[in-house]
A and B are shown apart, each in its own frame.
Chain A
């Protein structure tokens, strides 16, 4: 597939006297089962491909994208793109080192994509076991489970060969009564028992009652909060990351300065797009810059901003391998502009077990999700959002779920980094981050 598309792009680019081009071509197949009570419904995606292009001509840059990679469609988008060349700090695209070809697909998953009967049986088993172990603690079970195979080529016209990655992914998700859920995301097929026991794990820990802040006398007060890795990941991706991106530094909107302490000493966190368990790992970023591990905070000290090739030129430094097509809302990634983007967060574990962290809390909450955290003020870091799928902590125990719509949590995501006073030894893999549970304090509105 790559060779055909490359030839077409090269032919059209040469016809239009394009000096350099860069292409990101991807293709995936995916099969999943959605779960509703005991019903499983199958769906699939076959040969879904997309192409994102950047072109340099007369020192100016333009974008084009399409999902239809035949010659006529390519001519259509490329000729339109060349009518609107924009000034750029980029002189050339990356020269991709040779030999950057990763094939770490799990053939067991590849097989399941086209023959998903075994996947169905594993998911059916988790559904049965969840109902059995649930023992009347829940009424509704929803979820899904899927397997996928993806390929991506990143190529620039000045390179001898593309960087290439072929990888697989597995995910399963079980939600009980919209009160709690469990998720399993892996690049290789998990052991059958890991899948089969997924829902039962949630059922076992689900308390029967829920509580409001007023039940604990916490309304309007500051309280201890244990942030679940999911919540920490969403704080990073929605708010904190904005201050790490070189674009924010260049426009004077970042609150961070390299070499300054912006987080508590217990926080050491890196961005690692090559981490072996991340679904989206790859040998290069989407500009062809080799992927590397960048330490963002070392014992609380902010170390580096995330750069793509253009912001690196503008800031007279080198790209950190964070040039990715980061989409917003209805946009697909191939049509998004290249800009600095975190690839995958890996935080160093701490020295306290999660159960001991919870034991230390007299009254508080374990936050798994903050509803609408994407609406937080990205400039100041302030947020006030409602707790969802969270647990109330009383006298060191998870005693109830947080009553929906009643726990309005108020704080500042940037300030929160400084008030983290404990980090768990355990970490949780979300598929694109590996994070521990952390303890801090927030206001209950």
Chain B
């Protein structure tokens, strides 16, 4: 649908709304996607799916009504306005009238992240073929390498590349449009060995880029690029290593003096244990562990040597953002507010929250670009890329070797299959561990669960090493709305064992 046509429909809808409401806004989202999935022995391919939905919001006398509409058509939007009038009459007036903080930079209309290799210009058959063949080839090479252990690998692939468009407009004349690509690959390696042991690992590679996020062109089509091949090899290799994995008894776990987390493990820990608590709608609802319902911080949330940020990745020294990378990065949020890097905690203390326009007005703050919706759902406060950076050089070590040198009995925890959060606690699943004895890595440890109390777990960070990575990518499912996110931190982070974290390792 052309932009002029959409503008015409919206003008008409705002005219209908203006007869009754003080304010109305519209979010229109459209996605075109090419997708392939292998499940068991079957491959499912959808060369093209198109989905589009609309979210409309209305304000009058401090009461808000929101409506998800199936089609961007004049009749549908005007019908929604009529429905909204009825709903508004049924709505209760809240204790504090609902307001929306203003949208900054009202003049700028267009925002775009341009792909190098666009899905639209590519033959989906060749793209999907390259992904499936590339992954299959790596699996066969590992089966050869581990032939003596009778290893069989069943790699399940989930790949998609999509072009996204969204338009945000309101009854006061705002009209903003953003276009961008998003490309994603997940390889879930399921391994079965001769001795009957089954293991699995999962790797995800994704970015707000075109096909170049995963592939590079060759004369007759595409092939996996170097980074993609390396990361699949790394994690498929780990699934094979786990065949020899050991478990640790409760007594052994109690001896652990340090945990060393890679950026994936740390990332999901930051996302679940802290990030959700900084979403201002959770704060307002009294569901946050880091602040009370008035936004008053409950205390320190991390060691005084670290900062917690949300938004696009920043240069560790200059703190300048790179808006062209990060699976959760967008240029404007789903209310048209430019996305900012948000400092959630500075030197371990609560500094700010992730706001949508409603919570920003509620707490008397500026909107900071934290409102997102899943295709036509309401715009709630969401993380984008949430990560830890050292606030001081004093905890930065040269490399992993120097970081683990002083550990007498510890464990490296690597990778994640995701996590979950409650008000006070969180749980994160670890894909593989490595036992550290007297400063050296000695054994491979089975998958585990790392859990902790939100407010305390990260107060014991005492070292880190390596560059800042935010490419632990996933889908946050807050409120039933799935949104692409990234998370991470330094390549390696060391946490002193403490009473607020728990480790539980799967059996043999």
Contact = CB atoms under 8 A, between A and B. Distances in A.
Nearest to A88: B42
B125 A84 contact: yes
A59 to B, nearest CB: 16
Given A39-B92, A63-B44, A86-B43, A385 B449 contact: yes
Interface in B461-507: 475, 477, 482-484, 500, 502-507
A139 B286 contact: yes
Given A83-B124, A142-B287, A371 B506 contact: no
A207 interface: no
A342 to B, nearest CB: 15
A310 interface: yes
A71 B333 CA distance: 32
B332 interface: no
B40 A388 contact: no
A148 to B, nearest CB: 12
Nearest to A63: B46
Interface residues of B, number: 99
Contacts of B483: 330
B422 A140 contact: no
B418 A374 contact: yes
Interface residues of A, number: 86
B40 A247 contact: yes
B95 A38 contact: yes
Contacts of A441: none
A287 to B, nearest CB: 14
Interface string A62-103: 111111100001001100110110100000000000000000
A327 to B, nearest CB: 9
Contacts of A247: 39-42
Interface stretch (A292-300, A344-352, A404-412): A404-412
Contacts of B199: 379-380
B112 interface: no
Contact of A375 (B47, B417, B454): B417
Contacts of B385: none
Contacts of B51: 50, 65-68, 332, 335
B327 to A, nearest CB: 11
Question: Could you say which of B124, B284, B451, B483 has the most chain A C-beta atoms within 10 Å of its C-beta?
Answer: B451
Contact of A386 (B90, B158, B502): B502
Given A39-B92, A371-B425, A372-B427, A44 B475 contact: no
A210 B507 CA distance: 28
A41 B62 CA distance: 11
Interface stretch (A111-119, A264-272, A426-434): A111-119
A47 interface: yes
Given A178-B424, A384-B448, A335 B86 contact: no
A32 to B, nearest CB: 10
Contact of A115 (B90, B251, B378, B426): B90
A66 B49 contact: yes
B457 to A, nearest CB: 8
Interface stretch (B9-17, B65-73, B402-410): B65-73
Interface string A42-53: 111111111000
A405 B87 contact: no
Contacts of B419: 371-372, 375
B496 to A, nearest CB: 17
B428 A372 contact: yes
Contact of B482 (A50, A330, A371): A330
A77 B424 CA distance: 46
A83 B423 contact: no
B48 interface: yes
Contacts of B124: 80, 83-84
Contacts of A48: 53, 68-70, 376
21 contacts: A37-B286, A42-B66, A45-B67, A65-B46, A66-B49, A77-B50, A80-B124, A83-B124, A115-B90, A220-B249, A247-B41, A251-B154, A253-B198, A375-B416, A375-B418, A382-B447, A386-B502, A388-B422, A404-B422, A404-B453, A405-B454
Q: Which 5 A-B pairs have the closest CB atoms?
A: A405-B425, A445-B504, A220-B250, A375-B429, A404-B425
